[in-house]
Each structure stands twice: as structure tokens, then as C-alpha cells.
Structure 1
């Protein structure tokens, strides 16, 4: 195994959504959005937004959830999206304009500290945008301040890694080829809230009540619907954090990992659907 460059081991301890991660999401937007679409649809079905509601969407990524909510709350309702990535805020503003959606706007700011003038909102949504706070209790307390009394929070967060083979199995391949830091429980990252009790404790400490957490499980298409095993491994290596770790290594290491990933994804490939692998999320709701 090649010695890991020290800088990348440090970089993997957090995900820089204001810079590298946001830019990477944008560069791989179609793959990201179409891969996690089943999970986003589960969140929207659970939240059941209605016409006239004012909704703030945290960590909106490419904007798919925000724009779907904007359609659901139209014509009188509105969506304000907040994301720490300037690249994503600019791109999603263009995307909304191109889709003719006038009741959504997008702000580049840190959700942990943001102050939005048009308070309060009826609802708060986040599809995988709430697991990266360095200090989650103050961050969620700030978010609670965006809601009217009794206003509802709805989150989707990833469940335990063991129940998310679409991420876990690819990470295991990467670890066989390169040095990667061991995961730290409850640290900011995709699995920060894999423990339901910790999720509930965090929200209660931030002042929320009526915390309700249910599991949603299913399959998602790695790299998007119809992606071949080769396309799935290319997406993972260029888009996901564990794939990015491979880029600091010599070409022969990257090629060996790519070949092993292709073999992995071939096991899950269905020609009519793509590389279908299991996921599990927590759908979290609470009241301000």
C-alpha cells in the first residue's frame, strides 16, 4: 500500500462544502441528483408540503428538492434555499430561472449562523444538508429561530453505514487500496446522525419538541438510472469523498481500485435499471 500524502488524510476529516465539495457536487450534478432521488422523494412524501407554505431549505445542493417544494407550495408559498457553497447558490439560481420557477430564491450562507430577514417560516427542510455542522446544537437552535412557533422541521439524514451498502461497499474497496482515516462517531459527515438517539438528543437540546424519527429503506441507482458498472465507478471516483481520496495516488493504484469497483458494481447491475444498491435514511420531523 502506498503511503498516504499527509494533507489528504487531514482534508478527509471534514467536507469542505464551501469550496471543494460544493464545486464537486456541481461538476457531478446530474449523477448526484439522480443517484439520491429515491431518498429525496421519500422525504418530500413524508413532509407533504402544501400550497401557501413558506419553507426554508438547508443545504439545497443542486436544488432538486427546493424546486419540487416550490411547485408544491405555489402560487402563494415560497422557498428560500440556504447553502454554504457559492457555486451551488449561483447554479441553482440559474436553474430556477430556466425552469420558470419564480417563488424560490437561493442564498449563499452558513445555516449554522444565518439570519434571514423574512421571518418566520412555516417549515424547514433539509435533504442531507444537516449532518456537517461542527457544533450541531447551536446550529439547530439557530435554525429553530427561523421557524414560527410550532413550525415543522423535516430532515433526511443517512442511517448507519451498514444499512447503506451503496456507500459502504465502495468505501471498503477504496480502503483496500489507499490509507483513509477511521470514521469518528458523531463527527460531521454523512453518518453524523446514524444513531437515532443522538439525532433526537441534538434536536431536543436545540429547543425542538415532538421529535419523530422513522426509517425509509430502498434501493438507489449508483451514478443514476441506467448507469453501467463502468459509469457507476467513474461517478464514485470523481464525485464521492472516498473516491476523491484515490486521486492523490499513482495511476496504477487508481486503475486497480477502478477495476475492483467495476467488479463490485457488476454484481448489482440490472440492465433495465442500473447499478441498484441498498440505502437507509432517517426521516426526522420535529416542531419549533
Structure 2
């Protein structure tokens, strides 16, 4: 699947490359629980599909604040274990603190670039990633490396975003942004949230990395922008504080930022459900493959 021309100027990652080891990691941490509420249903669907069992060893790639890592640790307990890997030192610190408070004893974290990380307990039985696998500069090399961290016959399970045109939570927001600032054209298949929207390309990457038996299921649902129960105003504050587009709008001055904020508030009001939040359509691919 590929984007048509109407979509190509809407990719948010084209505003500026994302620095997950620095600024973007801090942005995620600042709104950690709101981000997690927004994507938790997709993570839950991926966890159910993975169906982890007692005794399995698992890598959680791009583990963020550790929510999925903790869920996996519970599923593989008491004799299994999980290693959370993230490139953001700030998120890894938060994940470790969270794990300590939970009392889980079969969980570890490491701060590293997953495309080159060395894990002394490798190979693991499984690999899991909820939106943490789309940012590699050289994805075939990265997945080849990850292939070496999973035992032969082991399985990987990934959640990646589907096409932007089917993710209205992003598409409509970026439409508002485009009304106020110029958004550079997207580079197809570039590292970023929608790098793997094209399943043919994703298949090429996984095959090039040594994985086989690729199987994909579509997830579609409503994403609560800014977290469960957020008002339109709170959803706008979340979006502009956490997205690269918010920084780009601020750089254009207070007048443009205020005008964009007002338009976003009107947009979110149309999707607001009292008590549930700003609910906008999302689509993800749930992908499994065998090492």
C-alpha cells in the first residue's frame, strides 16, 4: 500500500527529524500517561495476539515508560523474563522506577540503540514492539541485527501505524497545521511514525532482515487524543506540546500559534465525547514474523 499524492504533504516527521534519545524522549516522558492512554488499546491487541506464556524470554523494543514491558513480565512469570530496550535515557529511568514500584523481579531495562544493542542473554525467544520499530535509518541492517537477538524459530510481534489517510487523528491535525505553516513534502519510506504504512515495503524489510512467515492483521479504533476524558482544550495542549508541529508553529510567532490552536480546538470539539475524550479514527498494522 502506498500513499497517493494528497497524503504526501501531511507526514509530521518531515517537519524535523525526531530525536528520540533527546527531545522527543523528554516530550514523551512529560505526557507519558496521556500517550499511553491513547495507544493502550493497540498495545493490548498486540499483546493478545502475541499470547505470551510462562517461561518465555522477550525483548520489548522501544519500551518507552515500560507499560508494555510490565505487561509482558506478568504474562511470562514466574519463570520467564523480559528486557526493555529504549534509546531515551530519560524514559529508561522512568521505566526502571515503575518496575521497582511494581515489585516485578523478572524485568530489566537497557538504554541503547536497538539496531546495534548487545544483550548478553541473547538469543531471546520473542521480540515485541509497540510503535518502536519505525525509526531506524537503515532498517534492513537493524532488523538483521535484531534477527540475531532472537532464537531460530522465535517470533517477533510489531505494531506500526497504517497509512496517514486512515489515521484521522494525525491527518486532520496536520491539515490544520498546513493551514498556518508550510509542511515539506514527505519522503516515502523515510524513518518516522508512518515508515511502514506500506506493507509491501515492510515485507521487504523483514525479509531482508532474515524473517519469514510474515502475517498482518489490521487494527482500527478510536484514539483518545490527549488521553481518556480530555476536553478539546486539553487535547490541543497535549498535541502542541508533544508533536513536532507544535514546535514549528511556535517558531512562527504567537499570532500564528494562537490561530492554529483555535482551529485545532474547533476540530477537536467536533470529535469530543463527554466523559470519553476527543475520539479520532486510527489504524495500525499488527505484524508477526518468524526468525
Q: Which residue, out of 144, 147, 152, partners 2:147?
A: 144
Where in structure 1 are there 5+ consecutive unaligned residues? 1-8
Taking the aligned partners of 2:151 and 2:204, their CA distance within structure 1 comes to 21
Map of 2:24 onto structure 1? 21
Deviations 1:3-52 (A, max 9, x none): xxxxxx99834211011101111111111111111111111111111111
Residue 85 of structure 1, CA deviation: 0.6
Using structure 1 for the length normalisation, give the TM-score.
0.94
Map of 1:4 onto structure 2? none
Q: Which residue, out of 204, 207, 211, partners 1:201?
A: 204
Map of 1:175 onto structure 2? 178
User: Cα–Cα, structure 1 residues 117 and 49, in superposed 2: closer, same or farther, change >3 Å?
Assistant: same
Map of 1:155 onto structure 2? 158
Q: Which residue, out of 246, 249, 272, partners 2:249?
A: 246
Taking the aligned partners of 2:260 and 2:43, their CA distance within structure 1 comes to 29
Map of 1:231 onto structure 2? 234
Q: Which residue, out of 260, 264, 280, partners 2:263?
A: 260
Q: Which residue, out of 220, 223, 226, partners 1:220?
A: 223
User: Cα–Cα, structure 1 residues 134 and 233, in superposed 2: closer, same or farther, change >3 Å?
Assistant: same
User: Cα–Cα, structure 1 residues 152 and 80, in superposed 2: closer, same or farther, change >3 Å?
Assistant: same
The answer as to whether partners of 1:13 and 1:181 remain within 8 angstroms in 2 is: no
Map of 2:273 onto structure 1? 270
Q: Which residue, out of 106, 110, 120, partners 1:107?
A: 110
The answer as to whether partners of 1:47 and 1:154 remain within 8 angstroms in 2 is: yes
Taking the aligned partners of 1:41 and 1:237, their CA distance within structure 2 comes to 26
Map of 1:89 onto structure 2? 92
The answer as to whether partners of 2:13 and 2:192 remain within 8 angstroms in 1 is: no
The answer as to whether partners of 2:162 and 2:283 remain within 8 angstroms in 1 is: yes
Matched, 1:30 2:33: yes
Taking the aligned partners of 1:97 and 1:78, their CA distance within structure 2 comes to 15
Taking the aligned partners of 2:149 and 2:110, their CA distance within structure 1 comes to 14
Matched, 1:128 2:131: yes
Q: Which residue, out of 40, 48, 59, partners 2:51?
A: 48
Q: Secondary structure at the match of 1:177?
A: coil
Taking the aligned partners of 1:100 and 1:257, their CA distance within structure 2 comes to 44
Taking the aligned partners of 1:230 and 1:116, their CA distance within structure 2 comes to 44
Map of 1:281 onto structure 2? 284
Q: Secondary structure at the match of 1:211?
A: strand
Taking the aligned partners of 1:175 and 1:68, their CA distance within structure 2 comes to 38
Residue 220 of structure 1, CA deviation: 1.4
Taking the aligned partners of 2:176 and 2:53, their CA distance within structure 1 comes to 43
> How many pairs align?
280
